[in-house]
């Protein structure tokens, strides 16, 4: 397939902010794509070259792309950089400069999707002497043959900043519309930007099947092939694969045990809610692999946890869900997440750091065991399986999460108090009959915490500091997720809670370093950044506001902690903000 055909789709997507219209554009395009190109197309539609489950990254800096633009256009790097400063978008800069070049030459060869995909993939595998020059050559080869609009999207793909707004939900629905539209009697009304289906029950079944397959596989390039070639039956047979991370099950907040029991039924299991970080432990071919909730492989950073699992969990292969909780070596009391968070990204002196900040692995679920998919089993059965595969608990190494099963509110509240006194965040309340639902926040359980719910928000912009904060970014624009429209929406600015000195906690300098490589637009005092960094914030109140795109503003937001274990898809949703707004001060929707 010619890359120009994909670029036409990009341009249509870029021109609309309507999610349903985007879904329709993609679904119509997918119908035309040949099977052998589908895996690449599925990734490229979201600006990806590798699926989320693979650790490989393109790893191309803007400065290197700038050199390639200069090499392919014959324009000096300084002039390219000056143009970039004007546009704030290196993709747009490439488009404008390639357009000027094309006015002076008739040279143009068609480039294929495969050529673009293969060249960009080669970039991540290059190592050793002369790597920069070879990378520039690979990019220049594409740019020389590209049309202006093709150049724009090649550059944006290289920088992992596609800007066409195709989130997971959009691509999921497009797959359903494209391959199952006839089965469900699907029609799209462009004038009303709405759709209708004759069989809504079947439609929901297909949508759930695609979503569930993706939650298990975490690779749309594989899901799309299954959907097209094997249909609903194939999607429903999609299996978990030890060694390949799945999306973890998530839980909404409940106000109290009365609300929890009403939602989940009685009796229910009450578990400690730990202030640690999620670890998904896999065993495959005798090897233990650890993943965070962001699907990052952290096996190397936690040799102690690997040893705990190897020595104390029985099974040839499995996937277990757990929380690694830090504890004080002297007092043996649990420590807050922030104290041990540095272990996640640690690359050096790993064993020394493990001794300084030890963790206890608290296991609370099993989703695959010895080739058997356990996610459809009710929770009570999964808990029994845990007790079989972890027959001997070792305090401060590995144990099954403390829990009770009860239908008594007073017993539940007593256990809740014990959890808080142990240094935990609160408790989880889980339905005994619920399956494990990867990536879902409904049906399986709720969490109960003693304070007003904090929010996990994404940093999407920042202001440059002045005075004693000159040289740092010192005020951060934050956003939550609008799931309905598959976008991030702003909810306020935050500067309180950050420290002047790094040794005192999360500092302005540390945040500046984290965000520096993520800056995609520099507008003088303001910068726009790629949405990668998550922070947990507390606030005094949620207010209605027309200043921010969410329709809300956080009053007096303050930093609680940096969440290295979470990504943009883990950010709090606009729906959650709605619920919190309506509950505060006795308000009801």
Q: Residue 324: which of 214, 245, 399 has the closest Cα? A: 399
Residues 461, 524: contact at Cβ < 8 Å? no
Instruction: Based on the residue annotation, tell me whether 273 is a catalytic residue of this protein.
Output: yes
Question: How many angstroms separate the CA atoms of 432 and 336, rounded?
Answer: 29
CB-side neighbour CA atoms (13 Å) of 477: 20
| 377 Cβ neighbours under 8 A, 6+ residues apart | 385, 435, 436
CB-side neighbour CA atoms (13 Å) of 284: 13
Question: How many angstroms separate the CA atoms of 90 and 69, rounded?
Answer: 9
Q: Can you say whether residue 370 is alpha, beta or left, with left for phi > 0 and alpha for psi between -120 and 50 degrees?
A: left
DSSP letters for 294-338: T--B-TTT-HHHHHHHHHH---SSEEEEEEEEEB-TTT--B--HH
DSSP letters for 403-461: EEEES-HHHHHHHHHHHHHTT--EEEEEETTPPP-TT--SSSEEEE-SSSPPEEEEEEE
Bridge pairing between strands 403-406 and 487-494: unpaired
DSSP state of 50: S
Q: Is 347 exposed, middle or buried (0-12, 13-18, 19+ CB in 10 A)?
A: exposed
DSSP state of 552: E
Cα→Cα distances 453→57, 162, 439, 560, Å = 34, 33, 20, 12
Q: Residue 576: which of 420, 449, 457, 426 has the closest Cα? A: 457
Phi, psi of 419 (to 5 degrees): -65, -45
Phi, psi of 62 (to 5 degrees): -60, -35
Instruction: Catalytic residue, from 67, 205, 247, 273: name it.
Output: 273
Terminus-to-terminus CA distance in the chain, angstroms?
51
Question: How many angstroms separate the CA atoms of 362 and 400, rounded?
Answer: 5
Bridge pairing between strands 534-538 and 558-562: antiparallel
Question: How many angstroms separate the CA atoms of 475 and 268, rounded?
Answer: 44
Phi, psi of 112 (to 5 degrees): -95, 165
Question: How many angstroms separate the CA atoms of 517 and 198, rounded?
Answer: 49
| 364 Cβ neighbours under 8 A, 6+ residues apart | 271, 321, 322, 323, 386, 400, 401, 403, 428
As a whole number of angstroms, the longest Cα–Cα distance in the chain is: 81
Question: How many angstroms separate the CA atoms of 425 and 429, rounded?
Answer: 13
SS3 557: coil
Residues 401, 334: contact at Cβ < 8 Å? no
Point out the residues that are catalytic: 273
């Amino acid at each position: 397939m010619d890359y120009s055909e994909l670029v036409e789709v990009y341009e249509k997507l870029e021109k609309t902010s309507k999610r349903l219209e985007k879904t329709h554009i993609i679904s119509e395009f997918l119908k035309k794509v040949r099977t052998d190109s589908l895996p690449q197309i599925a990734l490229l539609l979201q600006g990806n070259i590798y699926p989320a489950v693979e650790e490989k990254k393109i790893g191309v800096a803007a400065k290197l792309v700038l050199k390639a633009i200069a090499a392919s256009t014959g324009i000096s790097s300084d002039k390219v950089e000056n143009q970039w400063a004007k546009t704030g978008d290196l993709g747009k800069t490439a488009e404008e400069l390639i357009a000027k070049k094309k006015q002076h030459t008739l040279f143009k060869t068609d480039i294929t999707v495969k050529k673009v995909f293969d060249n960009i993939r080669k970039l991540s595998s290059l190592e050793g002497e002369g790597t920069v020059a070879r990378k520039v050559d690979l990019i220049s080869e594409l740019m020389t043959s590209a049309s202006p609009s093709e150049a724009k999207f090649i550059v944006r793909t290289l920088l992992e900043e596609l800007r066409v707004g195709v989130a997971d939900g959009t691509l999921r629905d497009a797959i359903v519309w494209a391959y199952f539209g006839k089965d469900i009697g699907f029609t799209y009304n462009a004038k009303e930007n709405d759709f209708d289906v004759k069989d809504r029950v079947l439609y929901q079944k297909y949508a759930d099947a695609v979503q569930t397959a993706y939650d298990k596989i975490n690779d749309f390039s594989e899901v799309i092939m299954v959907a097209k070639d094997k249909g609903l039956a194939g999607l429903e047979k999609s299996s978990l694969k030890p060694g390949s991370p799945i999306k973890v099950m998530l839980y909404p907040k409940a106000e109290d045990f009365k609300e929890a029991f009403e939602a989940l039924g009685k009796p229910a299991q009450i578990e400690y809610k730990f202030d640690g970080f999620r670890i998904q432990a896999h065993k495959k071919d005798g090897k233990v692999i650890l993943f965070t909730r962001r699907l990052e492989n952290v096996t190397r950073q936690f040799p102690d946890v690997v040893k705990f699992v190897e020595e104390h969990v029985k099974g040839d292969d499995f996937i277990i869900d757990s929380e690694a909780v830090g504890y004080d070596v002297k007092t043996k009391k649990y420590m807050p997440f922030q104290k041990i968070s540095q272990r996640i990204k640690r690359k050096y002196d790993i064993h020394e750091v493990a001794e300084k900040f030890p963790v206890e692995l608290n296991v609370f679920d099993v989703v695959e065991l010895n080739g058997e998919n356990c996610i459809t089993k009710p929770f009570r059965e999964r808990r029994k399986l845990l007790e079989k595969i972890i027959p001997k608990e070792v305090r401060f190494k590995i144990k099954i999460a403390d829990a009770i099963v009860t239908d008594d509110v007073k017993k539940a509240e007593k256990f809740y108090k014990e959890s808080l006194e142990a240094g935990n965040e609160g408790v989880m309340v889980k339905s005994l009959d619920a399956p494990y639902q990867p990536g879902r926040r409904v049906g399986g359980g709720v969490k109960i915490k003693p304070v007003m719910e904090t929010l996990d928000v994404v940093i999407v912009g920042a202001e440059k500091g002045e005075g004693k904060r000159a040289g740092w970014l010192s005020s951060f624009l934050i956003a939550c997720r609008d799931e309905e429209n598959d976008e991030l929406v702003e909810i306020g600015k935050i500067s309180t809670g950050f420290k002047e000195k790094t040794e005192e906690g999360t500092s302005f300098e540390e945040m500046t370093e984290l965000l520096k490589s993520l800056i995609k637009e520099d507008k003088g005092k303001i910068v726009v950044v790629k949405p990668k960094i998550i922070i947990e914030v507390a606030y005094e109140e949620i207010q209605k506001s027309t200043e921010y795109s969410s329709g809300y503003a956080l009053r007096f937001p303050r930093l609680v902690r940096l969440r290295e274990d979470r990504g943009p898809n883990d950010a709090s949703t606009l729906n959650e903000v709605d619920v919190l707004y309506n509950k505060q001060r006795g308000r009801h929707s």
